[in-house]
Structure formats: structure tokens, C-alpha cells
């Protein structure tokens, strides 16, 4: 039973839950500006997406080119969305 509870997937899942709660907390905070809060939430989303791709889609054990391609895609989408957010 102990090995089921304390696995790598469980740790990643707990990190994802904590990141979701952090994003929610940033969204609920009234002191941040819209752009800062939105950029922070996008950064947390980037980390969450990378965790999901690496761990739950098992890209962590894939060839280097697939790991690099998924990381480049994550960063490109983050940059694009952040640029769109900051323009508004």
C-alpha cells in the first residue's frame, strides 16, 4: 500500500493540484494588475502542461527529439499567449 501512495505519479499529481490552487488564488487576488496576474497564471499553466506531457504522456522516457519538440511547443505557446495578453 505504501508503494502505491508514494509514487512519482502521485507526487506529480499533488504538484499539479497545488499549482491549480495557486492559479486560483492569483485569480482571486485583487491587488495584482490584470496583465501580471494573467502572465503568472499562464506561467503556471506552462509548468502544468509540461508536467502532464512529461509524466502522464510518458514523454520523459521518449527520445530527445520528442522531448525537445514538446518543450519548444510549450514555450512558443506561452510566448504567444503572453504577448496577446500584454497587448490588451
pLDDT interval class at 28 (50, 70, 90): confident
Res 4 pLDDT > 70: no
Return mean pLDDT, the chain.
88
8 A C-beta contact, residue 49 and residue 71? no
Domain that holds residue 10: 2-87
CA 46, CA 75: separation in Å to the nearest integer?
7
Q: Which pLDDT does position 31 carry in this prediction?
A: 56
The answer to whether the pTM exceeds 0.85 is: no
Q: 62 exposed, middle or buried (CB, 10 Å; 0-12, 13-18, 19+)? A: middle
- Which pLDDT band holds residue 37 (cuts at 50, 70, 90)? confident
Closest Cα partner for 47 from 10, 82, 78? 78
Q: What is the pLDDT of residues 42-85, one digit of tens each?
A: 999 999 999 999 999 999 999 999 999 999 999 999 999 999 98
Nearest Cα to 59, choosing from 47, 46, 71, 76?
71
How many separate domains does the chain show?
1
62 in helix, strand or coil?
A: coil
Amino acid at each position: 500500500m505504501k508503494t502505491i501512495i508514494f509514487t512519482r505519479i502521485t507526487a506529480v499529481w499533488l504538484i499539479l493540484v497545488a499549482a491549480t490552487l495557486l492559479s486560483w488564488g492569483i485569480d482571486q487576488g485583487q491587488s495584482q494588475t490584470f496583465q501580471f496576474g494573467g502572465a503568472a497564471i499562464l506561467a503556471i499553466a506552462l509548468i502544468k502542461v509540461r508536467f502532464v506531457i512529461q509524466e502522464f504522456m510518458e514523454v520523459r522516457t521518449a527520445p530527445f527529439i520528442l522531448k525537445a519538440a514538446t518543450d519548444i511547443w510549450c514555450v512558443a505557446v506561452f510566448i504567444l499567449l503572453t504577448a496577446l495578453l500584454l497587448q490588451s
